[in-house]
Amino acid sequence: MKAIRVHAFGGPEVLQLDEIPDPKPAAGQVLVRIRAAGVNPVETYIRAGAYNRLPELPYIPGSDSAGEVVEGAGALRPGDRVYVAGAPAYAEMVAAPLDSVWPIPDRISFEQGAAIGVPYGTAYHAIHLTGQTLPGDWVLVHGASGAVGTAAVQLAAALGARVVGTAGSAAGRQVVLDQGATAVVGHDDMEEAVAATGGHGFDVIVEMLANANLGNDLPALAQGGRVVVVGSRGTVEVNPRDLMNKGGSIRGLIRWNVSPEDGRRLHLALAAGLRNGTLTPVVGRRFPLAEAGAAHVAVMAPGAVGKVVLVAD
């Protein structure tokens, strides 16, 4: 099969298209023919060697994919349409543990299926588990037009929360409104964001770039509000009194701290939303597998809308 492999950490050019043997599933694994693979920002950090957990070289990047079962396990049978969360994705096939492979309904395309694992898993934890969002809460989603952002808006809106998103382009703003947001503002327009709540402030803020925004998030909290830090690319200076005045909290989120049981419940919840139409992944730019390097550039570009995906030839 064809697969993208990294033989040395570095820039996008180290993403190399190789011909390697097809994987052979072990007991308890499912063999999936990949039709689309998701590209996540974290994969660019790993590729560059700038992450605190690095794989052994060479490795196949990615963790989100979707396709058809070739060899099944458990209740999965050949031909079933599935998404895979947590197994190497930039390849034509993957042998994945049974508990990482989940069915997708006919209404969800393979490209949309490749946009589920990391984005919706992260957003679910931010909204439900870490943010503890309740119906009626005001939720601010930074970077709401991106893959995690659109997922967070959909999940919060489905819960009955009132959502304000930030986006940097006219197209991105429309996408955010289409996902169920009450209002959308520019990334730095925090006064306008708070005004959209009628001055209440935010019960939950989903923060994608804490090093740029955290100092401005804290004054925008409602009493007892929570900032959930999903992403950060550096340090930031904050005024602790802003947090004290609101009795607020800052909570960090990283996927490997999730328990297996919470992970199972997460995918069961996502399955319900995918079936009933409250959750519909938004796909942005598409690239062939051989152009994984260009996809890594695109996923880090400002103004990205939806999920960047690699598609089978």
Q: Is residue 274 part of a domain?
A: no
Q: Is residue 71 part of a domain?
A: yes
Q: What is the pLDDT of residue 81?
A: 98
Closest alpha carbon to 65 in 78, 41, 83? 83
**CATH value at residue 101:** 3.90.180.10
Domain shared by 9 and 88, yes or no: yes
Domain shared by 132 and 245, yes or no: yes
- 38-84 per-position pLDDT tens digit: 999 999 999 999 998 899 999 999 999 999 999 999 999 999 999 99
- 87-105 per-position pLDDT tens digit: 999 999 999 999 999 999 9
Domain shared by 206 and 171, yes or no: yes
Query: Of the candidates 256, 272, 291, which is a domain's last residue?
Result: 256
Closest alpha carbon to 202 in 179, 183, 225? 225
- The neighbouring-strand residues paired with 163 are 139
| Residue 185 clears pLDDT 80, i.e. is over it | yes
Helices (H) and strands (E) in the chain, counts: 10, 15
**pTM of the predicted model as reported, rounded to 2 decimal places:** 0.94
For the chain, what is the largest distance between any 2 Cα atoms, rounded to a whole number of angstroms? 59
- C-alpha to C-alpha distance for 91 and 35, rounded to whole angstroms: 9
Q: Is residue 20 part of a domain?
A: yes
| Residue 237 clears pLDDT 90, i.e. is over it | yes
Burial level of 98, CB count in 10 A (0-12/13-18/19+)?
middle
Of 259 and 1, more confident = 1
User: How large a percentage of the chain has pLDDT more than 90?
Assistant: 92
- Residue 302 pLDDT class (50, 70, 90 cuts): confident
Q: Do the Cβ atoms of 49 and 10 come closer than 8 Å?
A: yes
| Residue 163 clears pLDDT 80, i.e. is over it | yes
Domain shared by 306 and 211, yes or no: no
What's the whole-number mean pLDDT along residues 163-176?
95
What's the whole-number mean pLDDT along residues 156-167?
97
What's the whole-number mean pLDDT along residues 220-234?
96
| Residue 219 clears pLDDT 80, i.e. is over it | yes
Domain shared by 19 and 99, yes or no: yes
- C-alpha to C-alpha distance for 214 and 236, rounded to whole angstroms: 7
Domain shared by 37 and 131, yes or no: no
User: How large a percentage of the chain has pLDDT more than 70?
Assistant: 100
Q: Is residue 291 part of a domain?
A: yes
Beta strands of 119-166 (E only): which ranges? 138-141, 162-166
Q: Is residue 133 part of a domain?
A: yes
What's the whole-number mean pLDDT along residues 263-285?
95
Q: Is residue 265 part of a domain?
A: no
- Residue 259 pLDDT class (50, 70, 90 cuts): confident
Q: Do the Cβ atoms of 108 and 170 come closer than 8 Å?
A: no
- C-alpha to C-alpha distance for 25 and 19, rounded to whole angstroms: 18
| Residue 295 clears pLDDT 90, i.e. is over it | yes
Q: Residues, the chain, total? A: 313
Q: What is the pLDDT of residue 221?
A: 98
| Residue 224 clears pLDDT 80, i.e. is over it | yes
Domain shared by 123 and 252, yes or no: yes
Domain shared by 111 and 192, yes or no: no
Domain shared by 109 and 10, yes or no: yes
- C-alpha to C-alpha distance for 152 and 251, rounded to whole angstroms: 16
Domain shared by 84 and 208, yes or no: no
Q: Is residue 276 part of a domain?
A: no
What's the whole-number mean pLDDT along residues 293-308?
93
Q: Do the Cβ atoms of 203 and 132 come closer than 8 Å?
A: no
Q: Is residue 270 part of a domain?
A: no
| Residue 171 clears pLDDT 90, i.e. is over it | yes
Domain total of the chain: 2
Residues of the domain holding 189: 119-256
Contacts for 163 with CB less than 8 Å, ≥ 6 apart: 138, 139, 140, 141, 144, 153, 156, 157, 180, 181, 182
- C-alpha to C-alpha distance for 88 and 101, rounded to whole angstroms: 12
Tokens of 4: 């993208």
Domain shared by 90 and 133, yes or no: no
| Residue 26 clears pLDDT 90, i.e. is over it | yes
Beta strands of 183-282 (E only): which ranges? 183-185, 202-207, 221-229, 249-252
- Residue 276 pLDDT class (50, 70, 90 cuts): very high
Domain shared by 222 and 303, yes or no: no
**CATH value at residue 158:** 3.40.50.720
- 102-122 per-position pLDDT tens digit: 999 999 999 999 999 999 999
